Chain A
Amino acid sequence: MLKIEGLKTYFYTYKGVIKAVDGVDLEIGKGEIFGLVGESGCGKSTVALSIVRLVSWPPGKIVDGRIIFEGEDLLRKTDEEVRRIRGSKISMIFQEPTTSLNPVLTIGDQIAEAIMLHQNTDRETAKWRTLETLNKVRIADPKRVSKEYPHELSGGMMQRAMIAIALSCNPRLLIADEPTTSLDVTIGFEILQLIKELVNSIGASVMLITHDLGIVAEACDKVAVMYAGHMVEKSDVKRLFENPRHPYTQGLLASLPSKSGLAGEKKRLLHVIKGSVPDLINPPQGCRFHPRCESAKELCKKNKPHLLEIEQGHYVSCLMCNGEG
């Protein structure tokens, strides 16, 4: 359904070229929920923006790669063609519902706009369909809410409205960029369930961008871990949680609070991956993770690892465990 090959998106700044996404491959099947995980600044959102070609120049530019969506390369389409795909076939949900809704337009207007834009309906039908969509995202009293402005709603309600906009035209792919980060845990959980349920009912695929592995475990079928513009591990969710191979993935999993700890058996300090995401203008030579890696060898400083399949459907990019070293 969606296949990304060798995607490179760079940002040309005064300080130098930031290689935010530096050769990423991934594939999302029909109806699949694909998790993209990583720390802040590792290029997750840039991948998402590259798919819908919203990386703005200057300073950002998609330098290389192919993004094949339903058999066609999105990078070869004209701006106008991509614009028609946005919102109708691929739509997005952003992190902050409070800022991604326009404060001067009513909720109803914003949903109706999306419907009228892509479905050539008249105002009456669009209005009626707006109420229907609001109902679908389980907003009580859609009539009232459609006449309200974003500031009159709570964060969870606004995110529901965003979902309503994103799903109003039955897209084939939904890109959700940290949809629950700004919400509290219970509301976030509800929103996640809602997204799962709705995309299931229309048979859409989801690319779920998050830094919360709990959400991945909860919602995703497949998962890819990104680090500093590279993909370091990719597999289905179960395998990644049971048998993480890349040291970064292992670190991420180890830094989750464990349930047994909460039960008070034996308290332990949370694991911390030392250091922070490297400067992407001058990324470390060799494996980009080696300065923070506990099992790094001399080899890791020189040779660049590749994403190789170590078992059926499980790809790892680490010299120590994928046989390259």
Chain B
Amino acid sequence: MKSRSREIVQWQGPSKRYDIVKEFVVALTVVAILTLALSALFSSPDEPSLTIKSWANTSAEDFVLAAATELDGSSPSASYGPPYVAIPGSGQKIGPVNLQALAGVRTPVNSANAFVIDPLRAWPNPSSSLTFALGAWARASLDQQQQWASAYVQALGETKQLKATGAADKFGPVPELTSSLLVMAKSGALDGVVALGSNFYQTNYTHSLLFMGDGTYLEDAAVKQNLGGDQSGMMNETGSYPGQAWLWLYTFWYQIPPFSNEETTIGANADAVVWGIMMLLSLLLLLVPFLPGIRSIPRWIPLYRIIWRQWYRNHPMPGK
């Protein structure tokens, strides 16, 4: 039997003249005028982008600490896992499923080399102390490199200073590397080197944004604008402008426990779990016509009687 849903059934009841082309032209005119008026009255937000140069000049301690954590492998990007770094067991899970690990490392990033060592090697006229430091770093074993860098990260954390002092063999060449990088960054030279690498053209800012995200400078600036993750940041906009309000449900989950509590299993995997929830809800929205109960909600809460009140006034339903 042919399904009724596949039949094209035309309305045979009362009709009226209706000019949909005129309706469209009027709608287009109204929207155009409204858009022009809103644009003229309120303009649009354009907060200038941050740079590695501005980071180094305004938050030098944060910059140096981030550089040191790149060298000892404890920075967020160095310890991220897929798709940047291959770290066994890393990646968020939805239950037992680790989609992040399954997708693999497709954008490999060696943050120590990409953000610190390679840019310093690109310096056209390095000082003798920097040349010596780069040589010492290159000759050292991975364990030795990490030992130096970790000791320096710890010392920086304790002193909260731009440069920690200590026995030369304790930190190795790390203080020279990070302070040289700071000089390079303050001059603005590091922005181009980190972003460009050996390329002429550039459209990919993965390295620059990962490096900036390893400090607190970027996040501090965002929190000041009420854009932090616990401030529904993804749906907000800089200034007083409306942002992506349509992401309200996505950002909502991050504001409530257990998603907001990283101590819990769900909180530690909040990104993946929230994405899973949103995918499921999107699927349910798509399939509303086929979901018993959900598709009946409009009958239980008959707001349709308001929408079609004029019709129902003249065409009462049987028994009403």
Asked if A and B bind, the verdict is: no
